[in-house]
Amino acid sequence: MQAADQESTVRTNGSIGQPITYEKIPTHIYEDSRAASQAVAHEIADLIREKQRDNKPCVLGLATGSSPKTVYAELVRMHREEGLSFRNVVSFNLDEYYPMEPDSIYSYHRFMKEQLFDLVDIPKENYFLPDGTIPPAQIKEHCRAYENMITQAGGLDFQLLGIGGNGHVGFNEPGSLINARTRLIALDHSTRAAAAMEFGGLSQVPRKAITMGIAPIMSAKRIVLLAWGERKAPVLRGAVEGPVTERNPASYLQAHPNVTFVIDERAASELTRMKTPWAVDSVVWDNKMVKKAVTYLSQAMDKPILKLTDKDYNDNGMSDLLAQSGAGYEINIDIFNQLQHTITGWPGGKPDADDTNRPERKNPARKRIILFSPHPDDDIISMGGTFQRLVDQNHEVHVAYQTSGNIAVADDEALRFIDFVVDFNKRFSIENTNITNKIFHDAKEFLKTKKDSEMDTPEVRHVKGLIRRGEAKATCRFVGVPDAQVHFLDLPFYESGTVQKKPLGEEDIVIIEDLIKEIKPHQIYAAGDFADPHGTHKVCWDAIEAAIGRLKHKNFMKDCWVWLYRGAWAEWDIHEIEMAVPMSPDQVLKKRMGIFKHQSQKDGVVFQGDDSREFWQRAEERNQGTAQLYDQLGLAEYEAMEAFVRWRF
């Protein structure tokens, strides 16, 4: 996808006004993070080669976290397949937690070695990171020395950045000044909450970090900032379009002469040119754009769609829509009807009914369905009401749990269940109790002395996986799915024992492919929520997409429709929704009871993120919010709604 210009024009009452630069930082928007990451990796590779031709070192400032991982993967690929050498590269990383041992599984030293350094030919003496083991009394001198090394290397030729949910770059938290130097900093609560998933809980996240300051970052000759997903959208808009402020440190980059933000469409969703493109330039008024504009206008004016007037359209830069389509009332009726037609209590199609204006086909009356769930609770959290409807309406529903979810089980939960097995065997005089006693003893001793650098033992991981599996089975029994229709895929990419997963592999795709060939579904439901901070949802979707790509020419796939749901992290925008399944108060309560079957994920889950609500609360409030939005637009009022978008292959 070509990057869009940052120069925009503003429309006032439909007329072109003076050119306005809404975006104060050049911003390139790509369809997805993969394409964006490849573009950035190729820019870095070109710079490395240019420096090699000039017989000069290439000094890179590097970032950690999920955002640059695909960039590093592409650089590794170019090294292996295209001969890209890193012999002339000198790198300086932005930050490191403090205190932190370099071999810890949470260490940025270890992250960089696993993601890049150990996979290319960069000399070990050429890469540098802040030292998380430095004694407190030596930190100031260490930070000064770190900056001096950058200066002695000739300065940063290229600085790669991510952006935190609060606008931090590196670990320069809100309140950091533009002249801030490399230093020890106290981490903001939101930063620690966002990292809790990696550390097994908020209490385990370090409270401090050593970070390169804003000043040395700004001294880089070239800066590229990466951002993926809608969770970054609000802070990105502030950095790109808002004022320069210490409350959003990324906004300081507006003053840099050679900076580019490289983001995907979801991260760009709050930018003016994406949220209200008709307000900044001429647009093609296709149905998708009209639906987006009308639903936005209805919300902005706080009016039901059918009460919007021609004046409302004219006053909000949509006069050319009126010129193209006629009176506003006709537009209102059309969009109102389209939204109304998304609502259905029959997500599998209503038998013996006219399906002309329904989101799903009526035939076959009894459909075979695969509900893919990335983790063992995404099915009930994300679409529990629809899940129940499909079962109650007599469809053949298969649930496919793609990963074990074992890393999301707390250590004390694992011990509790092992202890139960020991006592159970003892109480009923079951043979081989020595084996379970040994497992319990070994697990207990391991967890008692477990170090940051250690992964769970295979036995502990298996126990945690069995806990999640048992909870998933309980949910399926609660909904009414037979055991034979519950599939635990345990995709291999997930089974690394840490939050950092292995790349998606051929064996992962084949497992999905074989299941689809076995079931021959008429419907597939899959998670389209790529804001999941684990990143697991996106990898799980990539596996499904790859499998469908291989099977789409099969005859049975011609009758298969794919519906994407969103998880606990976000919801589809109203103009995107193609099927909305309403729920009554009783159905909402039943969904809550289904979520409660996942006891290990209640009352302080391991990966809470920066949202303190439990998953059932997030799901209910999100579903109720969708229903309220339909109501505000002038449609029927329901207690709650689950929303879906159809993916066409």
Largest CA distance in the chain: 85
Integer-rounded Cα radius of gyration of the chain: 26
Compute the distance between CA of residue 5 and CA of residue 26 in angstroms, rounded to an integer. Answer: 8
Which H helix or E strand runs over 30? strand 27-30
Contacts 24+ apart (CB under 8 A), 303-308: 304/632, 304/633, 304/634, 305/332, 305/335, 305/336, 305/339, 305/633, 305/634, 306/332, 306/333, 306/336, 306/634, 307/634, 308/332
Helix (H, G, I), strand (E, B) or coil at 569: coil
Residue whose C-alpha is closest to residue 607's, from 419, 375, 445, 372: 375
Q: Supply the DSSP string of 273-297, one letter for each residue.
A: HHHSGGGTS-----HHHHHHHHHHH
Compute the distance between CA of residue 404 and CA of residue 496 in angstroms, rounded to an integer. Answer: 11
Catalytic residue check, 31: no
Exposure string over 89-100, b if 16+ CB within 10 A, otherwise e: bbbbbbbbbbbb
Cis peptide, bond prior to residue 503, ω within 30 of zero? no
Residue whose C-alpha is closest to residue 34's, from 68, 80, 82: 68
Compute the distance between CA of residue 585 and CA of residue 640 in angstroms, rounded to an integer. Answer: 8
Please state, as a whole number, how many other Cβ atoms lie within 10 Å of the Cβ of residue 357.
11
Given the residues 23, 74, 96, 173, the one annotated as active site: 173
Compute the distance between CA of residue 157 and CA of residue 159 in angstroms, rounded to an integer. Answer: 7
Compute the distance between CA of residue 126 and CA of residue 117 in angstroms, rounded to an integer. Answer: 10
- Name the phi and psi angles at 377, rounded to 5: -130, 0
576's tokens = 């995107």
- Name the phi and psi angles at 158, rounded to 5: -150, 130
- Name the phi and psi angles at 564, rounded to 5: -100, 130
Which amino acids are annotated catalytic?
173
